[in-house]
Amino acid sequence: MKRFRRYLRSLFRNRMFWIVTMIVTVALSSGVAILRFEQSPGREEFNSIADGIWWSVVTMTTVGYGDHFPVTGGGRILGVALMFSSIVLVSLFTATVSSIFVAKKIQEGKGLDTVDFDGHLLVCG
């Protein structure tokens, strides 16, 4: 039980965990929210939550296939908000990944990297 608590504590302190959680939360919530604005009997664009989530992921990654798109004012405002928030979230994600690699390279350059060798003899001096 202590290991599990320690794992959870380290997980919640991890910046990457929170960024990925925010990306998933924004994608899911905007996918559900777009249905509120765009779902109507004569419109075939957004029939299910899966269509809404597909639209939000495509919009967040700036792919923009064009197979689903909002036409109402509320849907378009949601789309613009999603575009700007996803730019921030994806930038945070890539910056965090980059900083992890840079920190690792700096540690290697200073000789602070952990060495795990078995069956070797280390001669100093």
Query: Is a pLDDT exceeding 80 seen at residue 7?
Result: yes
Specify the pLDDT at position 9: 84
With a pLDDT cut of 90, the percent of the chain lying above it is 41
Measured in whole angstroms, the distance separating CA 107 from the mean position of its chain's CA atoms is: 26
pLDDT number for residue 116: 74
Q: How far apart are CA 72 and CA 101, in angstroms?
A: 43
Dihedral sign for Cα 83, 85, 91, 93, please: negative
Nearest to 36 by CA among 54, 22, 57, 52: 52
Give the pLDDT of residue 108: 80
In angstroms, the CA 79 to CA 37 distance is 11
pTM given for the model: 0.75
- Give per-residue pLDDT as tens, 48-70: 899 899 999 999 988 877 778 88
Least confident of 34-38, 89-93, 105-109: 105-109
Between CA 76 and CA 71 the distance in angstroms is 7
Is the CA virtual torsion 90, 94, 97, 103 positive or negative?
negative
Q: Does domain 2-110 have CATH number 1.10.3720.10?
A: no
